[in-house]
Amino acid sequence: AQSVTQLGSHVSVSEGALVLLRCNYSSSVPPYLFWYVQYPNQGLQLLLKYTSAATLVKGINGFEAEFKKSETSFHLTKPSAHMSDAAEYFCATLNSNSGYALNFGKGTSLLVTP
């Protein structure tokens, strides 16, 4: 089954610094990949998704992710972190065995320091 692994449960960056959140996927077929953000006690908001079109995907709030088949990766980046980016980030892939629900990674908590 398709799955994703997020490396690093916590990432801390300074305001204005590059944000890099890592996600690797495991799939025998071309995957659909997603990044979601979750603020405390809230649902999930879609940042961006990869659906086998362009390998560089641009999302909301200045985030982007690059699909690299050779590395089975879909890392999320943002050139300059804002304080408001502090949240939990989840990488996910479609689970074709469960009616196309999402399989989520364990999440990465992003802390942005002044």
Give the footprint of other proteins on this chain (CB under 8 A): 32, 34, 36, 41-46, 49, 51, 90, 94-96, 98-107, 109
How far is the C-alpha of 114 from the C-alpha of 105, rounded, in Å?
28
Q: What is the DSSP letter of 70?
A: G
In the bound complex, what is the minimum distance in angstroms from residue 38's beta carbon to other proteins?
9
Rank residues 73 and 103 by Cβ distance to other proteins and give the closer one: 103
Rank residues 80 and 98 by Cβ distance to other proteins and give the closer one: 98
The answer for residues whose C-beta is within 8 angstroms of residue 64's C-beta and 6 or more apart is: 48, 56, 57, 58, 76, 77, 78
Rank residues 25 and 90 by Cβ distance to other proteins and give the closer one: 90
In the bound complex, what is the minimum distance in angstroms from residue 86's beta carbon to other proteins?
15
Of 77, 76, 81, give the one whose Cα is nearest residue 15: 81
